[in-house]
């Protein structure tokens, strides 16, 4: 692949003691903000500039130059920390990180026992870097009861002039619709006090549907992108493609085989390598094998996160490393070689963007990509040719099978969440829902009173069982993330623990024992780790058990979900709403493997009802790593958030919306 060059701007500014020369897209972004402030306009800026184009400066230039209060929203806590490091090069004294662990730490350090009070103090900084989970609590739930509702929302969401949403292309349609409603809520709060608000959405791909919704509610939209020019932002890459049966998880084996043949040469050439795999467990197993050869290995995935992992000679990770990771020369983390799986065009583009971020012409990085056979066959025509990134990425998006994007969720599920936000806006503004009816329709394309009726019907259904069972529907509906039954497993091999879904726990770990009392954790973990795990257990609503065991190299297949229906007082067949089933689950298996852990998990499951969708077969291309579980009678089951996404598709097929 050829190097990527973008257009330089004409603007040069002294910001925080540093002389900054702007790229054109950075200049365009700052100019649009300046004009919006001058004209007291509400504005949304979509910046689709590529990786390495300096989107951080683009997003925060108005804060750095004028001190405008800014809130940055990042999908992972690692991204938050990475952004904090980027801003600390200018001035970190007025930047605050706000996510769950940070709030706990702040409360402990300052002897504060009221979580709302802690968040209110943390949100007083000029710049707050947070995640959608915090925003969802503020916007969609009653988490902030304690101080008057008007105070909490108006004071926290209405405070900031600039909002930054990063990596927005990673959000699904439900999340995009919900973020649109958060934009609307902040816009109305700022409008009430006659002050402008500017939203900067950083995304790799255009968001046309969301853009239309935002225009419909009366907010001006500006599109900004990095034009081609003379300034190098991405260096040349030698791209090697290999076919692999990724759907049968053969990519793990193919990567291991490739390394067996080539690792010695890479080490002789003093190459630094980044490996991105889809399986957390295979990444961990590969790490252990390479460590046994005396190689310098660091891991970044759900099982393990080493400190400063990019500084090791070989860094092995999963999707956790493909967002916001910036290997570069400045801090000694530049990677010469990328080895990765790519099940979709989005994965391919996202992962290859982790390397070759620099300005040199005398250096060529190497990317080894394992892709589906049908994609390999279509790309063979490029063998031996130079191709620019834009052309290649456009071809990838055409060649890869189109994945299910759950567009229906924005009209079926998201309105149920957004209704709560509009209810709060009506109370804050002192207006009726009828007065907000048109705006609600512009975002959701549904009538607000019809959605209220749907919520009432679902809640009436839940009322039939919530006296006896724990209801998870609200946690699922108002969560930014997945919500399935999980457990924490303390790893006997090392001083650490991992959180996985219960099927993965039973099939990927052996010699599982139940930890019934929190004090038992001290037997296996040091004080710091044990305290950390105890905190997570108390906060994590999806976790139902704590186990101790050993990770197995081989997966024990055969565990599957079934319906638990041993209740004489309740007809489970009646607990269905337009195809969305509310069910008590149990896990079954044909042998005695992990029998005690299995029984303990089922004892916990007997008290909980989950929203689920059950299907005979899946006739669609689901996104990579979309959680699907085996169910009785050779069916498939979707649980929690994924059940709501699948339910939205069923609603459309049945012509219900």
112-127 residue pLDDT tens: 988 878 888 888 889 9
3-state secondary structure of 618: coil
Closest by CA to 458, choosing from 441, 471, 443, is: 471
Complete DSSP assignment for 636-654 = EEEETHHHHHHHHHHHHHT
Joined together, the tokens standing for residue 481 give: 């993330």
**pLDDT in the model for residue 10:** 95
Range of weakest confidence among 156-170, 271-285, 365-379 = 156-170
Question: What does DSSP assign to residue 228?
Answer: B
616-625 long-range Cβ contacts below 8 angstroms, 24+ apart = 620/404, 620/649, 621/401, 621/402, 621/403, 621/404, 622/403, 622/404, 623/344, 623/403, 623/404, 624/278, 624/343, 624/344, 624/347, 624/403, 625/278, 625/319
In whole angstroms, give the CA distance from residue 172 to residue 245.
26
For 334, residues 6+ apart whose C-beta sits below 8 A from its C-beta are 272, 327, 328, 358
Could you report the per-residue pLDDT of 561-576, keeping only the tens digit for each? 999 988 888 888 889 9
* Residue 394 to residues 3, 9, 125, 246, Cα–Cα distance (Å): 16, 26, 41, 22
DSSP symbol at 404: P
- Please give the helix or strand (H or E) that residue 541 lies within, else none: none
CB atoms within 10 A of CB 461: 17
Answer for the pair 645, 653: CB distance below 8 angstroms, yes or no: no
The strand pairing partners of 471, in sequence order, are 609
- Cα-based distances in Å from 240 to 305, 321, 379, 407, 555: 28, 21, 11, 34, 30
Q: What's residue 616's pLDDT?
A: 87
pTM for this entry: 0.91
Largest separation between any pair of C-alpha atoms in the chain: 75
**pLDDT given for residue 132 in this prediction:** 93
652 in Cβ contact with 410 (< 8 Å): no
CA dist 202 and 457 (Å) reads 38
- Determine how many CB atoms are found less than 10 A away from the CB of residue 321: 26
- C-alpha to C-alpha distance for 370 and 277, rounded to whole angstroms: 10
- pLDDT per residue over 610-619, tens digit each? 999 999 876 7
- Is residue 6 within 8 Å of residue 25, measured between CB atoms? yes
Q: State the span(s) of the chain assigned CATH 3.40.50.300.
A: 4-224, 235-382
User: Among the CATH numbers 3.40.50.300, 3.30.70.270, 1.20.1090.10, 3.40.190.10, which is that of 235-382?
Assistant: 3.40.50.300
Are 24 and 226 a contacting pair, CB within 8 Å?
Answer: yes
Q: What is the DSSP string of 583-613?
A: E-EEEE-SS-TTHHHHHHHHHHHTTEEEEEE
The radius of gyration computed from the CA coordinates of the chain, to the nearest angstrom, equals: 25
Helices (H), 380-521: 389-399, 409-412, 414-429, 433-444, 448-463, 473-477, 502-508
- Of the candidates 176, 166, 90, the residue with the CA atom closest to the CA atom of residue 130: 166
Q: State the DSSP code for 623.
A: P
Q: Which residues neighbour 288 within 8 Å (Cβ) at sequence distance 6 or greater? A: none
161-175, 256-270, 294-308, 632-646: least confidently modelled range: 294-308
CATH class of residue range 4-224: alpha beta
On the question of pLDDT at 479 being above 70, the answer is yes
Give the per-residue pLDDT at 657: 57
Cα–Cα dist 591/7, whole Å: 64
Contact call for residues 265 and 380 (beta carbons, < 8 A): no
Q: What are phi and psi of 129, to 5 degrees?
A: -110, 120
pLDDT at 335: 95
Residue 263: how many other CB atoms lie within 10 Å: 16
Assess whether pLDDT exceeds 70 at residue 144.
no
Given a cut of 70, whether residue 320 has pLDDT beyond it is: yes
Structural tokens at position 115: 């979580």
* Band of residue 151 on the pLDDT scale cut at 50, 70, 90: very low
pLDDT at 146: 45
Query: What are 497-535's pLDDT values in tens digits?
Result: 999 999 999 999 999 999 988 888 999 999 989 998 998
Please check the confidence at residue 155 and state whether its pLDDT lies above 80. no
Rounded Cα distance, 153 and 655, in Å: 37
Q: For residue 656, what pLDDT band results from cuts at 50, 70 and 90?
A: low
Q: Please give the residue that has the higher pLDDT: either 140 or 632.
A: 632
pLDDT in tens, 8-24: 999 998 888 889 999 99
CA angle 401, 170, 507 (to 5 degrees): 75
pLDDT digits (tens, 9 = 90+) for 220-278: 999 999 999 999 999 999 999 999 999 888 999 999 999 999 999 999 999 999 999 99
Distance CA 212, CA 223 (A): 12
What's the pLDDT at 211? 87
User: Distances in Å between the alpha carbon of 181 and those of 69, 74, 187, 378?
Assistant: 21, 17, 10, 41
- CA distance linking residue 584 with residue 639, whole number of Å: 11
Mean pLDDT on 300-304: 76
Q: Is the pLDDT of residue 189 over 70?
A: yes
Q: In degrees rounded to 5, what are phi and psi of residue 585?
A: -110, 160
């Amino acid at each position: 692949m050829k190097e990527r060059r973008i257009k330089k701007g004409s603007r040069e500014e002294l910001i925080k003691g540093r002389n900054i020369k702007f790229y054109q897209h950075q200049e365009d972004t700052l100019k649009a903000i300046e004009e919006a402030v001058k004209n007291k306009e509400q504005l949304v800026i979509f910046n689709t500039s590529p990786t390495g184009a300096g989107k951080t400066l683009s997003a925060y230039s108005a804060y750095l130059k004028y001190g405008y209060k800014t809130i940055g929203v990042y999908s992972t806590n690692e991204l938050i920390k990475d952004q904090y490091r980027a801003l600390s090069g200018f001035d970190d004294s007025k930047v605050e990180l706000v996510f769950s662990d940070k709030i706990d730490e702040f409360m402990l350090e300052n002897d504060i026992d009221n979580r709302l009070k802690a968040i209110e103090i943390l949100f007083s900084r000029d710049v707050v870097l947070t995640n959608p989970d915090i925003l969802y609590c503020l916007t969609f739930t009653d988490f902030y009861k304690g101080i008057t509702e008007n105070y909490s929302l108006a004071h926290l969401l209405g405070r900031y002039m600039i909002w930054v949403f990063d990596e927005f292309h990673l959000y699904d349609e439900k999340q995009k619709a919900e973020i649109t409603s958060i934009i609307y809520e902040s816009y109305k709060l700022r409008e009430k006090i006659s002050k402008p608000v500017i939203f900067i959405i950083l995304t790799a791909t255009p968001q046309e549907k969301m853009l239309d919704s935002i225009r419909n509610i009366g907010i001006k939209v500006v599109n900004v992108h990095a034009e081609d020019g003379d300034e190098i932002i991405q260096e040349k890459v030698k791209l090697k493609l290999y076919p692999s049966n990724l759907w049968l998880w053969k990519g793990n084996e193919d990567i291991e085989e490739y390394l067996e043949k080539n690792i010695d040469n890479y080490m002789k050439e003093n190459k630094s390598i980044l490996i991105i795999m889809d399986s957390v467990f295979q990444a961990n197993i590969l790490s252990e094998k390479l460590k046994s050869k005396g190689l310098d290995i660091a891991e970044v995935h759900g099982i393990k996160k080493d400190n400063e992992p990019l500084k090791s000679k070989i860094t092995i990770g999963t999707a956790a490393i493909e967002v916001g990771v910036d290997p570069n020369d400045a801090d000694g983390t530049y990677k010469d070689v990328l080895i990765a799986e790519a099940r979709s065009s989005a994965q391919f583009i996202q992962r290859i963007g982790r390397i070759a971020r620099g300005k040199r012409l005398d250096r060529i990085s190497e990317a080894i990509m394992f892709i589906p056979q049908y994609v390999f066959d279509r790309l063979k025509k490029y063998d031996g040719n130079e191709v620019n990134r834009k052309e290649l990425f456009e071809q990838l998006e055409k060649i890869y099978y189109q994945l299910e994007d759950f567009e229906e969720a924005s009209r079926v599920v998201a309105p149920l969440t957004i209704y709560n936000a509009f209810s709060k806006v009506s109370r804050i503004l002192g207006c009726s829902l009828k007065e907000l009816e048109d705006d609600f329709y512009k975002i959701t394309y549904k009538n607000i009173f019809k959605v209220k009726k749907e919520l009432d019907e679902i809640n009436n259904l839940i009322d039939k069982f919530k006296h006896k069972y724990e209801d998870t529907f609200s946690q699922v509906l108002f969560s930014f993330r997945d919500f399935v039954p999980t457990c924490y497993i303390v790893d006997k091999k090392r001083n650490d623990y991992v959180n996985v879904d219960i099927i993965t726990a039973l099939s990927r770990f052996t010699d599982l024992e139940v930890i019934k009392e929190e004090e038992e954790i001290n037997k296996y973990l040091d004080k710091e780790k044990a305290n950390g795990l105890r905190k997570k257990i108390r906060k994590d609503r999806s976790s139902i058990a704590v186990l101790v065991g050993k990770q197995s190299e081989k997966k024990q297949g055969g565990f599957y979900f079934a319906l638990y229906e041993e209740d004489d007082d309740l007809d489970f067949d009646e607990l269905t709403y337009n195809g969305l089933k509310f069910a008590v689950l149990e896990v079954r298996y044909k042998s005695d493997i992990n029998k005690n852990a299995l029984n303990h998990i089922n004892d916990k499951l007997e008290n909980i009802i989950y929203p689920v969708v059950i299907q005979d077969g899946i006739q669609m291309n689901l996104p990579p790593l979309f959680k699907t579980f085996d169910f009785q009678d050779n069916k498939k089951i979707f649980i929690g958030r994924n059940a709501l996404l699948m339910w939205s598709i069923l609603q459309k097929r049945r012509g219900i919306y």
